[in-house]
With several copies, the nearest count.
Chain A
Amino acid sequence: MTELARSRGTPLVSVLLFAAAREAAGRGRIEIGYRPGLTAAAVWERLIGEHPELEPFAASISVAVNHRFVPRDTLLDPGDELAFLPPVSGG
């Protein structure tokens, strides 16, 4: 979808995946096209559609937009950096 979005000059949202989720999807960064009304939850649903391996993360995934934790129903803006974070285990 990256190339499709770019070719039309559509405003983009960057989607980041980390750790086990990144490995499950086989990719850590995806650019998707922005459209008004797009929520983090909608992006997640779309990701699961393309990468069913992400399904097990659904209940525990946290969402961050522009480096801040946000609720899943957060509306996105063009240029946002959206990240899906599996349960953290730093320290």
Chain B
Amino acid sequence: MERFRITGEPLDERAVGSGLATFEDGAVVVFSGVARGRNRGRQVLHLEYEAYEAMALPVLRGIAAEVRERFGVERLRIHHRVGRVGIGEPSVVVAAAAPHRRSAFEAAQHAMNEIKRIVPIWKREFFEDGEVWVEGPKEPVTG
């Protein structure tokens, strides 16, 4: 199982956390980001993700390095889907394993926050009557 993956294929939520825990781990947290059928009151038909893949992978590795440094969590996997994602399907799955639950939760949550903030991936929502690129935090990232 690759630690970091950007893929056009459906994500196997179940597999991402599987086998991640070692002998000394007592906690596994698996987060799935799922395509919602409704956003800001509008019905969404499907999503489409575009990635700057050559950059997304090293950014994910950087997030993992930071998670290790801040929370001591070494077992982290991040899989992100690109292309068309149907409603109810996962677009991202993050799995973290650690000896205790607090750091596993922190690791998964921090990784997700960072994914939303800096990983060069963009989401487009498709509606009955059009489509829109979703924009995240407007503050430019400067390194």
For B141, give its contact among A16, A59, A69, A89 (CB under 8 Å): A69
**Is A62 a contact partner of B142 (Cβ separation < 8 A)?**
yes
The contact string, 1 if C-beta is below 8 Å from chain A, for chain B 44-58, is: 000001111011101
The contact string, 1 if C-beta is below 8 Å from chain A, for chain B 125-143, is: 0000000011111111111
Q: Which residue of A lies closest to B125 (CB)?
A: A89
Decide yes or no whether A30 CB sits under 8 A from chain B.
no
**Is A64 a contact partner of B140 (Cβ separation < 8 A)?**
no
Interface centre among A19, A83, A86, A91 (most CB of B within 10 A): A91
**Is B122 a contact partner of A18 (Cβ separation < 8 A)?**
yes
The contact string, 1 if C-beta is below 8 Å from chain A, for chain B 39-77, is: 000000000011110111011000000000000000000
Interchain nearest-CB distance for A85 vs B (Å): 5
Q: How far is the CA of A89 from the CA of B133 in the complex (A)?
A: 9
Query: How many residues from B make CB contacts under 8 Å with A?
Result: 36
Decide yes or no whether B103 CB sits under 8 A from chain A.
no
Q: Which residue of A lies closest to B57 (CB)?
A: A67
Q: Which residue of B lies closest to A71 (CB)?
A: B142
Decide yes or no whether A68 CB sits under 8 A from chain B.
yes
Q: How far is the CA of A62 from the CA of B122 in the complex (A)?
A: 13
Interface size class of A (residues with CB under 8 A): 20 to 34
**Is A19 a contact partner of B143 (Cβ separation < 8 A)?**
no
Q: How far is the CA of A90 from the CA of B121 in the complex (A)?
A: 5
A–B Cβ pairs within 8 angstroms, 22 of them: A19-B122, A20-B135, A60-B138, A60-B140, A63-B142, A64-B120, A68-B58, A68-B143, A69-B141, A70-B143, A83-B55, A85-B141, A86-B122, A89-B122, A90-B49, A90-B51, A90-B92, A90-B115, A90-B136, A91-B33, A91-B80, A91-B91
Listed in ascending order, the chain B residues whose CB lies under 8 Å from chain A are 33, 49-52, 54-56, 58-59, 80, 91-92, 101, 112, 115-124, 133-143
